[in-house]
Amino acid sequence: MIQTPFYLIDRAKLARNMAVMDELRAGSGAKVLLALKCFATWPVFDQMREHMDGTTSSSLYELRLGREKFGKETHAYSVAWPEHEIAEAVGHADKIIFNSVGQLERFDNQSASIARGLRLNPRFSTSGFDLADPARPFSRLGEWDAGKIERVMDRVSGFMIHYNCENADFDLFDRQLTRIEEEFGGLLARLKWVSLGGGIHFTGEGYPVARLAARLRAFSERFGVQVYLEPGEAAITGAASLEVTVLDVMNNGKDLAIVDSSVEAHMLDLLIYRISGKMEVAGDHPYMICGKSCLAGDVFGEFNFPAPLNVGDRLSIADAAGYTMVKKNWFNGVKMPSIVIKELDGSMTVAREFGYADFAGNLG
């Protein structure tokens, strides 16, 4: 038996998302790029690259990883490129997307050899969290002034417009895209490509994929552009779990179970956004599932189990692919979860284990 904790990526569940990806690509003509900021676990890129068109990045290291491990089309974006990275970035990328007019102008000569884009901020989004809202007041994420953008239109061939966040409401997407068409249509018609970013939850249960495909095709045909999407969560919805073991049980007014993992170290988004993890369990025995770090609020959530928990019980924290492995850290020196792949035949492949040398190597 594989020692916990470990992230378990299930290729069969991943295949379900990839089938939806194929449906959307075929129906819309859009290209889909894996957003590495969400999921960059390259041992399963062999499966994903058969159904996706490439990768999009948020930094030089992500860009290089996408080029070397995924291949296909590679988009380079960064909120701000430093002088010492721009030449390497251009060398790895098919397209480079600048966050501001200032960055585009600064690196005009260095980037002129490849296709260039600009991030457009429509000044609205679907995010329910101020922390993640790209259109929050005083946002640094993209340009919104059409007059300012106009002066560099001769140097760009596309826009990246990222404003969705776990948006499962197609009608809302439709209305907001219509608003973008109305406000920026004059600029869009002069482009060759438009990326509508990520955050569209089209692999969610019951999402009207055919309607999304038709809407994207209509947008593409109206403006004569190649549409790109940048799915992160949509690519890996439900495809992985965090496997943990109960180390202790307590009662301090509630029944508690302490596991051999940490929210702070291994599922940081739960703390950042103050949301609960997910477990596919039900029953009459409630427990608060707690991480083993010394952070008082290191809690995965409260769940009901069919029987009392005991030391040694194995638990699965569900939907644990997105923004986990890319954010994991060595807080408290808690053992880093291994990365394990459940193959299509049901066998388990340990893709990576981490030990003390990895911990020490990060610190000096």
What residues form the annotated binding site for substrate? 233, 269
d(CA 96, CA 112): 10
> Cβ contacts of residue 348 below 8 Å, gap of 6+?
2, 8, 340, 341, 342
Report the amino acid identity of residue 71. G
d(CA 191, CA 168): 28
d(CA 47, CA 52): 9
By the 8 A CB rule, do 13 and 344 touch? Answer: no
Lookup result for tokens 């957003």 = 35
> What separation, in Å, do the N-terminal and C-terminal C-alpha atoms of the chain show?
33
Closest by CA position to 55, among listed 38, 74, 41? 74
Lookup result for tokens 């490509």 = 193
> Which residues sit opposite 226 in a β-bridge?
193
E strand intervals along 45-84: 54-56, 73-78
d(CA 257, CA 286): 10
Positions at the binding site: 233, 269
d(CA 313, CA 294): 22
d(CA 337, CA 5): 5
Closest by CA position to 300, among listed 319, 285, 284, 283? 319
Q: Which two tokens stand for residue 274?
A: 């103050």
Long-range contacts of 295-301 (CB under 8 A, 24+ apart): 295/262, 295/264, 295/331, 295/332, 297/271, 298/262, 298/263, 298/264, 298/271, 299/263, 300/259, 300/263, 300/267, 300/270, 300/276, 301/270, 301/276, 301/277
d(CA 245, CA 259): 5
